[in-house]
Structure 1
């Protein structure tokens, strides 16, 4: 069913849904477009509408081959929409769901494209803040690159910033997708360009491994891992690529590369990666016992019998997540004691079947249980020893003692 968006655009059919709104295939004065129509509750927020208009110049001025261009912003009654260039293809999440993991050459070629787009955005003082596979589009009509990769374009610039208004998120709340959040955001620091590099490196790790380095389980546990745990090496990955990944996943923002540097370094590695098949990596099992910070009253609380999703917490209370890593999840910033998980552990370390991951909550709980059992056994043995000692002291062990014997057992005084 067609609907008018402002006076210049018509939306014909839904292409996809996200937690911030719905993407439509539309038509404008210059031909087909993609229209991201934000949710009605966002459109009714006058403060957000004001910020939307303020961002207009910056978003319309971001023009790069690896960025989905914003061609117009529409504010009309209850409609708040971004009109974007239509990309004929699919998103990276869809390809990843189909193939599970990509060959290193193709993965690096895609991430290099996105790094180029981020470099242009950062130069214009725009931070994306929600880099993830769902926001990376693959142009199926573009020329194939290294490893048979289609050109990659980054989309949804400005949406996280628009939604992150003072009224909508308090100082103790964070906006983002848990699997891809940089440690400094988890700790409550303002997002700078380095958060996009961290998120992009997380996407690259996911393309290679089939899972994110710190994801899995409750969102609060995911946030804690970003701050306290180190990334697990991937078997079979060339050392040069691994060192680049580690640098961009550094806890300290200043240690990460800039987007332009990352793009150059990745492209320099492409000849080394030619012909390498997808890595053989076993995905770690879920850590079901991980504890997480409690949600506040404004957050969605899943039902007791609802299965956990990797990082999925819908922004709209009561709504079902539309993907397994929902956009713009709103969470409480964990307190310092909640983030202080002791010495740095290793995230998602390989483990034997049925055994908890070292350093995890399950591992710690198992250690506590083991100590309690050990102490219990020791207490029983001690009681038994005391009882035996008392029995011997009363003559029970000489085979013929009597109570009188024990009373007279002390040495006689001269």
Structure 2
């Protein structure tokens, strides 16, 4: 049975479910649409409804071939207190689904998709709009385009509208941990550069099959964004790596702007022609097994495709994964935590067949540390015993009546 939304739209079938709400296939006065109906608790937030009204003009005016257009915003005038974004319907899949299917893309395909998304970001940034949640789940691939799949960035405005602190709370970091820029972790405002950082992270993932700082608890992921540098990918053309490195810079001012990124990437396309997907191993594939001697792990665990991968896409045909962290308010790490972050815990790629470094060395190091502690404790115990014996036997017991200064001089 169809449900009415805002008096002008009816929705018929669920296309996908996300943390912010549910996307429906709908029908409007001008034909098929996608309707993102926000969760009931969000719809009940009067502050959110006010932000919707405030952003209506900007979001409706954001038009570009690589942006999923917002046709209308429904604010509390349908069945109950609905809040919904009515968007263009894209016939195709999303980038996450393609990654799940292909694992990693050929460099040329990855660069084309990234350049198209950068084109859309350039228009949005010029209009003063920051996306704040660029990730594969929010990049749709229109398979009806004649010259191949066309990438479109969706959910513009959702992160800003929904993730702004409510009820006076300002102590959280909101976003998807794998793609969040370091300045957000440090509590700075979200400017256009956060989208460039996130898009560069997406490009890295398209090439490698995993993100540069992902894996493990989200607190560790946030620290890596602030304290570590992305590991260079084997066999990536040097010019492409320079662009990636610049856009993953910790300092926002050091990153390229969206239009510059799109231009630089397109200049690289001739050199990428015919290159196959990178033949590298995902560190998440490494088994974490106890050492046969020490019983301690010999590899750092890293979350792979079954952990931080695969959120629910906004299109039909992909299996849901409720474990993915997205639009999640996280505690801001303190300065001491950031300063002493998890150095060296980011996943390091290596060529297929290359021996994984570190396991035997780490096990031997742990054994040496335990041996040093044991020997040190034994020497300390012997020293205390000898000292006690000397104090007890010095001067046939007369030392007990000597002044402290004399005892000290005797011990010398």
The bucket for the TM-score relative to the shorter chain is 0.7 to 0.9
Q: Return closer, same or farther for 1:366/1:142 CA change in 2, 3 Å cut-off.
A: farther
Q: Return closer, same or farther for 1:84/1:279 CA change in 2, 3 Å cut-off.
A: same
Query: How far off its partner does 1:384 sit?
Result: 7.6
Q: Structure 1: where are the runs of 5+ without partners?
A: 290-306, 315-320, 389-414
TM-score, normalised via structure 1 length: 0.79
- Larger deviation, residues 184-193 vs 342-351: 342-351
Query: How far off its partner does 1:163 sit?
Result: 1.0
1:179-218 mapped onto 2 (5 Å cutoff) = 179-218=178-217
Q: Return closer, same or farther for 1:168/1:327 CA change in 2, 3 Å cut-off.
A: farther
Q: 2: distance between equivalents of 1:220 and 1:10?
A: 41
Question: Does the alignment pair 1:117 with 2:115?
Answer: no
Query: How far off its partner does 1:380 sit?
Result: 3.4
SS of match in other structure, 2:225: helix
Q: Return closer, same or farther for 1:378/1:286 CA change in 2, 3 Å cut-off.
A: farther
SS of match in other structure, 2:201: helix
The alignment covers a number of residue pairs equal to 359
1:280-359 mapped onto 2 (5 Å cutoff) = 280-285=279-284, 309-310=307-308, 322=321, 325-341=324-340, 345=344, 347-349=346-348, 355=358
Q: Is the 8 A contact 2:231 2:348 kept in 1?
A: yes
Give 1:246's aligned residue: 245
Give 2:42's aligned residue: 42
Query: How far off its partner does 1:134 sit?
Result: 0.2
SS of match in other structure, 1:285: helix
Q: Is the 8 A contact 1:216 1:287 kept in 2?
A: no
Q: Return closer, same or farther for 1:138/1:379 CA change in 2, 3 Å cut-off.
A: same
Q: Structure 2: where are the runs of 5+ without partners?
A: 289-304, 313-319, 387-412
Query: How far off its partner does 1:286 sit?
Result: 8.1
Query: How far off its partner does 1:346 sit?
Result: 7.0
Give 1:9's aligned residue: 9
The structure whose residues are more often helix, as a share, is 2
Give 2:104's aligned residue: 101
Q: Return closer, same or farther for 1:253/1:286 CA change in 2, 3 Å cut-off.
A: farther
Q: Is the 8 A contact 2:137 2:311 kept in 1?
A: no
Query: How far off its partner does 1:373 sit?
Result: 3.1
Q: Is the 8 A contact 1:205 1:213 kept in 2?
A: yes
Query: How far off its partner does 1:348 sit?
Result: 1.7
Backbone CA RMSD of aligned residues:
3.3
Query: How far off its partner does 1:341 sit?
Result: 2.3
Query: How far off its partner does 1:350 sit?
Result: 5.1
Query: How far off its partner does 1:340 sit?
Result: 1.3
Q: Is the 8 A contact 2:233 2:349 kept in 1?
A: no
